[in-house]
Amino acid sequence: MTRPIGLSRHSFKRSWQLHLFFIIPLAYLLIFHYYPMLGLQIAFKNYTSTGGIWGSAWIGFHHFRTFFKSYQFQRVVTNTLRISLYNLAVSFLLPILFALFLNVVRNKRTKAFVQTISYMPHFISVIVLVGILFQVFSPVSGLYGYFFRLLGGRGYPTDLFARPGTFLHMFVWSGVWQNLGFSSIIYVAALSTVDPGLHEAAEIDGASRLARVFHIDLPSILPTASIILILSFGRVMSIGFEKIYLLQNSLNLTQSEVIPTYIYKVGLNSASNFSYGTAVGMFNSIINCALLILVNKVASRLSKGAGSLW
């Protein structure tokens, strides 16, 4: 059997200088991503600062059992899944629809203007975004309170940040506003590779623009969408920590407490119980990995390997 040219010894000797560059990212992965994984053993230990990672006593699955029996377990897991699945359903579908919309626009200036405007919010930091939300939806000095009084309301409207039911929608839809345009880039790029001859042939056969979207454009981006969906399921339990923590308060905590904020508060901030926090984080990662493998397997069977990672 002939060895592939890219893996041959002759090819390696001829371009050995280029292969040396591979050492840099490999060393980065080993030092900053794989070596720290040795510290995961403290999830099975009673970690103390004096004993360190290697000198602390083993206690097995004690921290995992403590988390499973905790009254917070059901709430934080339920909140994490609720926010993540809602966010996934919205943030996965809307960029596809937006990319299809942009692909229909024929005026290049209009298309470029819409793309630029939609990309800009992505580069706003989370801190600034939360500050904008507080300014806009403030019942006293924000636009929300101003329009309430402009329309005849008396006093001040209900504080949306104090209502647990509004936290979920505010978190998800502010993220949509921030990332919609940027998330659609990959779909716009996939649509740009569609052969124009397919549209011309379909147009000659009498297909409408909507029919061409469903039968030409949409199938062309399905493999890309499938890969992104699989990767998104691998991050279901790792919903963003920063924005949730900044939007949290004592009044909406029943709906906003998720696993990442729970780890920070219980495992790191208050009790400094690093072993317990590591155990909860490991549980979180195991669920993400299991969902990634499961969704990839389902996608592989449905698409016969065309829309899966492996």
In-domain check, residue 19? no
In-domain check, residue 211? yes
- Which tens digit of pLDDT belongs to each residue from 22-71? 888 999 999 998 898 888 898 998 888 788 888 888 998 999 999 999 88
Q: Are 152 and 70 in contact (CB under 8 A)?
A: no
CA Rg value for the chain? 25
Q: What is the DSSP string of 100-143?
A: HHHHH---HHHHHHHHHHHHGGGGS-HHHHHHHHHHHS-TTTSH
In-domain check, residue 35? no
Number of domains forming the structure of the chain: 1
* CB-neighbour burial class of residue 305 (10 A; exposed 0-12, middle 13-18, buried 19+): exposed
Q: Are 244 and 261 in contact (CB under 8 A)?
A: yes
Choice between 2 and 253, residue whose per-residue pLDDT is larger? 253
- Which tens digit of pLDDT belongs to each residue from 58-70? 998 999 999 999 8
The CATH number given to whatever domain includes residue 144 is 1.10.3720.10
Cβ density class 157-177: b for 16+ within 10 Å, e for less: bebbbeeeebbbebbbebbee
What's the pLDDT score for residue 270? 59
In-domain check, residue 25? no
Residue 41's contacts (CB-CB under 8 Å, 6 or more residues apart) are 53
- Supply the range of the domain harboring residue 75: 57-303
- DSSP H or E segment with residue 275: helix 274-303
Residue showing tokens 């839809």: 173
In-domain check, residue 209? yes
In-domain check, residue 40? no
In-domain check, residue 222? yes
In-domain check, residue 102? yes
- Which tens digit of pLDDT belongs to each residue from 94-121? 999 999 998 888 888 998 899 899 999 9
What's the pLDDT score for residue 174? 92
- Which tens digit of pLDDT belongs to each residue from 223-276? 888 888 888 888 888 887 889 999 998 888 889 999 999 988 887 775 568 888
What's the pLDDT score for residue 8? 66
